[in-house]
Structure formats: C-alpha cells, structure tokens
Chains A and B, each alone.
Chain A
Amino acid sequence: MRDVPSQGQAFVADARPGVPAIDIQGVGKTFATDPVGTAPVLGSIDLSIRDNEFVVLLGRSGCGKTTLLNIVAGLEAPTSGQVLVAGRPVTGPGGGKGMVFQQNALFPWLTARANVMFAAENRGLGRGEATLLASDLLRLVGLEGVDAKYPAELSGGMQQRVAIARALALDPAILLMDEPFGALDEITRNEMQDELLRVWQARQKTVLFVTHSIWEALMLADRVVVLASRPGRIVLEQEISALRPRSRSSLPLVALHEAIWEALRER
C-alpha cells in the first residue's frame, strides 16, 4: 500500500463524540422565482446524520432532493434554518465535503487521471503525490488502464467511477451523491452499488446519497429518509439493519419496500 494521505488530513476536524457529522436544522427553501402563494420547495427539514453513516434521501422527481443536497454542500443558501457539519455552520462548498453529480461533471479536457489529480492538487499535494494518489483511487473504484483516457472515451459507468475517485481525492469526511447512478442501466447500476459499498467500507465516510429508486435505497442505506414534495418534508425515516451484501429477495427488505412505497404514494 502506498502512502496515501488519509483521514488525518481531512479538512473537517476529526469527529467529536456526540456531535453529528451533518446536522440539518429547520432548513427551508423558497426560490425567488417561485410564484407567491405556492408551497416552499423545502418546508422545514430536520435531519441529523452520524459519523460514517450511510443515509439515502428518497423521493420522486422534483420533491427537492437536489435542493437539499446543494444546501448541505454549500452550493445554495437555505431561506431558513442552517446546516452544521461537524458542529460548524456550512458557509460554502468545499471544506471536506466531496460531491458526485448526477450529470457527468468531469472536466472533458482532462484525462481520467488528471481529473482526479485536479482535486488532489487543490488540497496542496504535489504533482508526484497527486499522480500516485490518482492511480490508487482509480484502482480503488475498479478502473484499470483508463488513466490516460478522456471522459468522452469512457462509458457512463466508468465516468461515474472517475467522478467518485475525484471526490475521494479530496479526502472528504463527507460524500454527497446526487443520483450518481441515475443515468446507468440497471445491471451497471447494481455493480456500481456494490463498488460504492466496498469503497465506503474501505474508506469510512459519512455518505448522503440521493435517489429515486426504492431498491437502490434499500441496498445501500443504513437509514432511508423519504421526502414528499411541496412543501418538501420528511414523511418516513427507516433504519435498515440488514447486513450487507443484501439480497433483494430477503423478506424483511421486501416488506420495507412495501412500506416505503406506501409512504411515497400518500398525498
């Protein structure tokens, strides 16, 4: 194992016992362009996420999942309430919060390795170190021999693997993922879920993962949080204790699927 800089150098101060990794406190959001009188995109969301917890936000399109994730990322400001990360209010993006986007957000002019290096260099690593780290991370996400390829030369699944490697290169304590596998076919998607769990177990992170697929939530989450829209609100929180790897045919999960489906259908 090469000397890969790890948790100790993360931007976010090491976890303090009792302080949640992410604490969403009464977050509401209304867009300036919303017509007066419409319900806010986000009502008042309260959600507390433990260190190294894998939380999945689930809801139908347009219910405000991306908006909430962007607020946690610091890409957007809430209209009311606040988000604390490791006990400190979020004022902007970065600072140990890695993000993987739904669309391909790789820099098309950089090779796979250079994309990952971009993130590594941003936190002060030299070229040599960044190159080594990038190669290691690409291998970690299951990519071999594509270091010198441009994003356009990679399949959708490979692109998202690079995006995950790039987010990991920041060595963030928190990983925010906005429907990262939404554009993939189901087979690739299932593979990517397994890979993600493997990576998550190898590099302990707090993950906030957005999806609109109930099965994806069930396969991945320590806890599923179901959102309903206008106003965006939490209608169900469900801990999932089943051991991983999980099977879709396990009866408890099938029962949970039914329960979540009911929660989503209400309204």
Chain B
Amino acid sequence: MGRRLHHWLPLLVPTLVFVVLLGSWEWAVAQGWLRRLLFPPPTKLFASAVELARDGVPLGKTLLDHLLITIARIFGGFAAAVALAIPLGLVIGASPFLDRMMAPIVGFCRSVATLSLLPLALVWFGIGEASKIFLIGYGCFWVMLSNVIAAMRLVDPVLLRAARTMDTKPLRTFTHVVLPAALPRIAAGARIALGVGFMVIVGAEMIGTTMGLGALIMEARTFYRTDVTMVGMVTIGLLGLAISLSLSQLERRLMPWMPAHSGAGP
C-alpha cells in the first residue's frame, strides 16, 4: 500500500495541484475577484481554442495555419544557420589560430541581441518572409557556430593520440574520430540554437505580419482577446515541447553510446 502510493505520488500531486489551480481560477473569475478580460477562465480558453482551430479568429486564419507558418519560418532559419555553421565551425575549430582569431568576433556577434537587428532586417529584406528567416538564422547561427567550434576544440586529445598510434589516415581520423567525438556537443548546440530560434520567432512575427503564432499572440491584444493570446502561448509552448522531445529521440538514435538525455525544453 505504502509502496503503491509512493509510486503514484509524482503523478498524483501535480495533477491535483493543476486541477485545484484551474478550478480556483475558474471560481475566482465567476466570483468576480479576477477580471474576465484580464484572466479569461479555463473554460473560456478551451472554447476559444476550439473556435480558433475551426473558424480562426480574429482574422479568419485557423490555429493550424498560424502554426504551420511559424514552423516553416523556424525551420527555414534554423536549417540555414546549421547548414552554414557546421562546416564553418569545423574549419575554424580545426585550427587553433583561426579559433583565436575568430573568438572575439563570434563572442561579440553572439552578444548582439538578435531582435535588435530587426530594423536592419527590414531595410535589407523588407517586411516579408526573408527578414524573419534572416533574424532566426542570425540567432541560431552564432550559437551554433560557437558550439561547433567548442565541440572541435574539446575533442579528447587522448582519442586523437590513440588514432595516431593505430596508423589512422587523416581523412579517416576526421570522419571516424573527430566527428563522432564532437557530435554530442554539436547536437547540444543545435538544441540551444533551436531554443534561440523559438525566442526570436515570436519577436520577429510581432512586426509586419498577421500570420504566425507570434502575430496571432500580438494581434489578439488589439482586439482585446486575451483568451486568444493565451491559446497562442500554449500552442507555441506545446510546439516547443514536441520539438524538444523529438530532438531527444533523434539524439538517442544518432548517439546510442550516450547516457539517456533528460529532455529539458528550449
């Protein structure tokens, strides 16, 4: 009995807390202690989610439309950044001199707040898709680049020595020793970069578009639809969670030798 309870507790308590929280929220609104406009109650949120998914408010685009656009933008920027950063990082990371030469630039460009580039993006790429993908790409790129470089620099030297004592050819050393040794950190970099992408997308979509979850979240406010904003927030949170979980799965597949990863979200 005691053991069974112990087993269920980690599931039971959070569920209970969650139910109590939602319940008292609903109740407090019904009692008029919380203002409906500021704190739309859970039942209202559910209704709005259904409405949003079926008809689309406030502008007739459904939740799925917004979701797909956002996914396309994130992946566009992320993929471009990764495709550029990996080869570049491998080259820079392979040479201590290049690494030291690039370190201040990479460090600084990482420090630049990605969304501060928004005005530049608007001038260079207009208010269309290109500027959003540029912003996401920029944020992902420098994070990815610094992680790929670090991954190369942190390859355990004893593995390289072992490879040398086994007469390993340079190309084989690169493909069969350096790359797999660097892979875990590269994957970690991709995970962090995707997190940055999620952060940037919302900002990027807040200006010059009515499509995408970020736009939905922002637009809803001008229509006094806090409920729609909240549904949008939950949706993008779930999207982040789903991507994070599938990334963990992918990492497991790619790196079966690594101990299991705890799937923290981006």
Min CB gap B179→A, angstroms: 10
The answer to whether B161 and A105 touch across the interface, beta carbons within 8 angstroms, is yes
CB neighbours of B169 from chain A (8 A):
122
CB neighbours of B172 from chain A (8 A):
122
CB neighbours of A122 from chain B (8 A):
166-169, 172
CB neighbours of B164 from chain A (8 A):
75, 92-94
CB neighbours of A95 from chain B (8 A):
167
CB neighbours of B162 from chain A (8 A):
99, 101, 105-107
Residue of B nearest to A120 (CB): B166
A165 at the B interface (CB under 8 A): no
Contact partner of A109 (CB less than 8 A), chosen from B158, B165, B166, B255, is B255
Known pairs A103-B158, A152-B257; A109 contacts B180 (CB<8 A): yes
The answer to whether B257 and A108 touch across the interface, beta carbons within 8 angstroms, is yes
The answer to whether B257 and A75 touch across the interface, beta carbons within 8 angstroms, is no
Min CB gap B260→A, angstroms: 12
Min CB gap B141→A, angstroms: 27
The answer to whether B166 and A150 touch across the interface, beta carbons within 8 angstroms, is no
**Chain A residues numbered 139-194 whose CB sits less than 8 Å from any CB in chain B:** 150-152, 166-167, 170, 176
- Provide the main secondary structure of the chain B interface: helix
Residue-wise, chain A 80-122 has the 8 Å CB interface mask toward B (1 for contact) of 0000000000001111011101010111111000000011001
Known pairs A101-B158, A105-B158, A118-B176; A170 contacts B167 (CB<8 A): yes
The answer to whether B161 and A101 touch across the interface, beta carbons within 8 angstroms, is yes
Interface size on B, residues (CB 8 A): 20
Residue of A nearest to B177 (CB): A107
Min CB gap A111→B, angstroms: 8
Known pairs A109-B180, A109-B255, A152-B257; A118 contacts B166 (CB<8 A): yes
B2 at the A interface (CB under 8 A): no
CB neighbours of B159 from chain A (8 A):
105, 107
CB neighbours of A150 from chain B (8 A):
256-257
CB neighbours of B255 from chain A (8 A):
109
Residue of A nearest to B183 (CB): A109
B10 at the A interface (CB under 8 A): no
**Chain B residues numbered 134-165 whose CB sits less than 8 Å from any CB in chain A:** 158-159, 161-162, 164-165
A58 at the B interface (CB under 8 A): no
A98, A122, A166, A176 — most chain B CB neighbours (10 Å): A122
Min CB gap B156→A, angstroms: 8
The answer to whether B167 and A107 touch across the interface, beta carbons within 8 angstroms, is no
A77 at the B interface (CB under 8 A): no
Known pairs A95-B167, A122-B168, A150-B256; A75 contacts B177 (CB<8 A): no
Taking Cβ atoms with an 8 Å cutoff, the residues of B that contact A are 158-159, 161-162, 164-169, 172, 176-177, 180-181, 183, 255-257, 259
Could you jot down 18 A-B contacts, CB within 8 Å?
A75-B165, A93-B165, A94-B164, A95-B167, A98-B165, A99-B161, A101-B161, A105-B158, A105-B161, A107-B177, A108-B257, A109-B255, A118-B168, A122-B167, A122-B169, A150-B256, A151-B257, A170-B166
Shortest 7 CB-CB contacts between residues of A and residues of B? A94-B167, A99-B165, A93-B164, A105-B162, A109-B180, A150-B257, A93-B165
Besides the contacts A166-B166, A167-B165, A176-B165, what 19 more A-B pairs have beta carbons closer than 8 Å? A73-B165, A93-B161, A93-B165, A94-B164, A95-B167, A97-B165, A98-B165, A99-B165, A105-B162, A107-B159, A107-B177, A118-B166, A118-B176, A122-B168, A122-B169, A151-B257, A152-B257, A152-B259, A170-B167
